Amino acid sequence: GKMDSLLLKSKFRGSLLGALMGDCLGSAYEGDELFSAGMKLVIQKSFDKLQGPHFKAPVIQFTDDSAMTRAVAESLIECTGFDQTHMAKKFVKSYYLEPNRGYGAGVTTVFHKLRNNKFVDVLGPAREQFNGEGSLGNGGAMRVAPIALFYYKNSELMVDTARKQSHITHTHKTGVDGAILQAIAIQQSLLLDPKEELDTCKFTDNLINEMDKIEIDEEGLGLVDPSPYKTQLKLLRNLICEDGDGPHDEKVVHQLGNDVSALHSVPTAIYCFLKAQKPIPAIQTENPLRRTVQYAISLGGDTDTIGSMAGAIAGAFYGEEMIRPEILKHCETSDKFRELADQLFHLATA
Ligand code: R7I
Ligand code: MG
Ligand code: MG
Ligand code: MG
């Protein structure tokens, strides 16, 4: 049936606020390794403190993930749809206003070149990255939530726009397809009823079917694995179906990854969302959205980005009600992100 408009509005807010929360909470832990049990306890205690009713602390700043998500949202709103040059300008402007938000090491070259060519060639700089291979980083995926929301009614347009926004900075096939997969995961979550038990196998199978259509080797690249996301999603499927408490985190990180490449972070974020549908022994919270984000961060590696992508998917499923205000109040400019979500909602449902 048709989804209640209040629920859908809450889901729009949940997705952008979940993305912001994952980025802010994960930013302190960005690093290389899977965390030890001791460090996971430190994270648990820190989140418990943040959730305490009277905890006073300086606001936690967001990083490039949220800065770029905000830019994507603002561009869609200002243009009432996607305009590649406008969005590129938004990225560059927000980078030069606040260059110290923790941007990827390669992507700043794109911003310099775009500014120097005055946006006459919007796609050239990204194509030149990494000796012409294009970036395979997760930058295209980490900022895609507003696209999934804005175009949630039209899958074809959503996929096409997820691709084109990625091309502004990321042109490597796995960088682009990671952005598409993240957008599809958010859209699927958005359309599900959070009061019904989520069928994690069906959710994964749908993603596998969609990526089967996306990962066609149109360019004839002759890749060793022509459908690497399908491969990762099948691993994910096996992990999610493991009995008992499920696989050890070492196995999850080993198979799905936790680094800055889209291929080894987007499926991981999806896994975190699915796994957190049920209690996770090492994560003490009743709240499945916090569980999603905390579990994602506890896997180490690219914690802000995997936390943010998992938060965006979880928020699109549960809606804003599942985001604890006690935690959100510690995150920079959450009011702004709520407002952007509302503007996207009005445009998308008009
Ligand atoms: O993808 P991108 O925007 O970075 C996003 C990450 C997130 O974790 C953010 O939180 C922030 O910390 O950065 O930026 P890129 O510079 O395009 O890609 C990120 C990194 O991936 C690069 O700096 C490279 O180290 C690596 N990388 C590659 N390495 C080798 N060959 C990306 N593409 C390649 C490649 O083709
Ligand atoms: Mg970041
Ligand atoms: Mg590359
Ligand atoms: Mg990151």
pLDDT band at 33 (very low <50, low <70, confident <90, very high): confident
**What mean pLDDT is predicted for residues 201-217?**
94
Query: Is residue 303 lining ligand 1, measured as CB closer than 6 Å?
Result: no
Cα separation, 229 vs 219, in Å, equals: 17
pLDDT of 245 strictly over 80: no
For residue 15, what pLDDT is reported? 99
* Core vs surface per residue 126-161: b (16+ CB within 10 A) or e: beebeeeebbbbbbbbbbbbbbbbbbbeeeeebbeb
pLDDT band at 230 (very low <50, low <70, confident <90, very high): very high
- The ligand whose atoms approach the alpha carbon of 134 most closely is 3
Residue 105 Cα: closest atom of ligand 1: 23
- Three-state SS for 90? helix
Question: Cα of 128 to ligand 3 centre, how many Å?
Answer: 10
Residue 68 Cα: closest atom of ligand 1: 3
Is 221 among the domain residues?
no
Cα separation, 167 vs 182, in Å, equals: 15
Is 66 among the domain residues?
yes
Is 96 among the domain residues?
yes
**What mean pLDDT is predicted for residues 162-184?**
98
Query: What mean pLDDT, rounded, does the chain reach?
Result: 96
pLDDT of 223 strictly over 80: no
Q: Whose CA is nearest to atom 4 of ligand 1?
A: 104
pLDDT band at 217 (very low <50, low <70, confident <90, very high): low
pLDDT of 1 strictly over 90: no
Q: Which range among 150-159, 187-196, 240-249 shows the weakest confidence by mean pLDDT?
A: 240-249
For residue 244, what pLDDT is reported? 75
**What mean pLDDT is predicted for residues 181-209?**
97
Q: Containing domain of residue 198, as a range? A: 5-215+226-349
pLDDT of 248 strictly over 80: yes
> Which of 23, 72, 260, 308 has the most ligand 1 atoms within 8 A of CB, as the residue to mutate?
260
Cα separation, 55 vs 25, in Å, equals: 15
Structure confidence by residue, pLDDT tens digits, 103-122: 999 999 999 999 999 999 99
Domain count, the chain: 1
Q: How far apart are the first and last CA of the chain?
A: 19
Contacts of 66 (CB under 8 A, 6+ apart): 19, 20, 23, 24, 308, 332, 337
Quick one: DSSP state of residue 322?
G
Nearest to 256 by CA among 281, 273, 244: 273
Question: Cα of 141 to ligand 1 centre, how many Å?
Answer: 12
Q: Whose CA is nearest to atom 14 of ligand 1?
A: 104
For residue 31, what pLDDT is reported? 85
Contacts of 282 (CB under 8 A, 6+ apart): 37, 40, 44, 298
Please report, as a single letter, which amino acid is at residue 251: K
Q: Whose CA is nearest to atom 18 of ligand 1?
A: 137
What tokens appear for 47 in the block? Answer: 């989140």
Q: Are residues 193 and 187 in contact, defined by beta-carbon separation less than 8 angstroms?
A: no
**What mean pLDDT is predicted for residues 257-261?**
98
Query: Is residue 265 lining ligand 1, measured as CB closer than 6 Å?
Result: no
Query: Is residue 69 lining ligand 1, measured as CB closer than 6 Å?
Result: no
Structure confidence by residue, pLDDT tens digits, 52-64: 988 888 999 999 9
Query: Is residue 23 lining ligand 1, measured as CB closer than 6 Å?
Result: no
Q: Which range among 1-10, 40-49, 131-140 shows the weakest confidence by mean pLDDT?
A: 1-10
Is the Cα torsion angle 290, 295, 298, 299 positive or negative in sign?
negative
Question: Cα of 3 to ligand 2 centre, how many Å?
Answer: 33
Question: Cα of 261 to ligand 2 centre, how many Å?
Answer: 13
Is 255 among the domain residues?
yes
Is 193 among the domain residues?
yes
ipTM confidence: 0.97
Q: Are residues 157 and 138 in contact, defined by beta-carbon separation less than 8 angstroms?
A: no
For residue 218, what pLDDT is reported? 67
Domain with residue 159: its CATH number is 1.10.4080.10
Question: Cα of 84 to ligand 1 centre, how many Å?
Answer: 21
For residue 129, what pLDDT is reported? 98
pLDDT of 247 strictly over 70: yes
**What mean pLDDT is predicted for residues 84-94?**
98
Is 220 among the domain residues?
no
Q: Are residues 94 and 68 in contact, defined by beta-carbon separation less than 8 angstroms?
A: yes
**What mean pLDDT is predicted for residues 248-272?**
97
Contacts of 80 (CB under 8 A, 6+ apart): 347
**What mean pLDDT is predicted for residues 284-297?**
98
Is 206 among the domain residues?
yes
Q: Which range among 28-32, 227-231, 272-276, 307-311 shows the weakest confidence by mean pLDDT?
A: 28-32
Question: Cα of 140 to ligand 1 centre, how many Å?
Answer: 10
% of the chain exceeding 70 in pLDDT: 99
**What mean pLDDT is predicted for residues 154-159?**
98
Query: Is residue 210 lining ligand 1, measured as CB closer than 6 Å?
Result: no
% of the chain exceeding 90 in pLDDT: 90
Residue 304 Cα: closest atom of ligand 1: 10
- The ligand whose atoms approach the alpha carbon of 108 most closely is 1
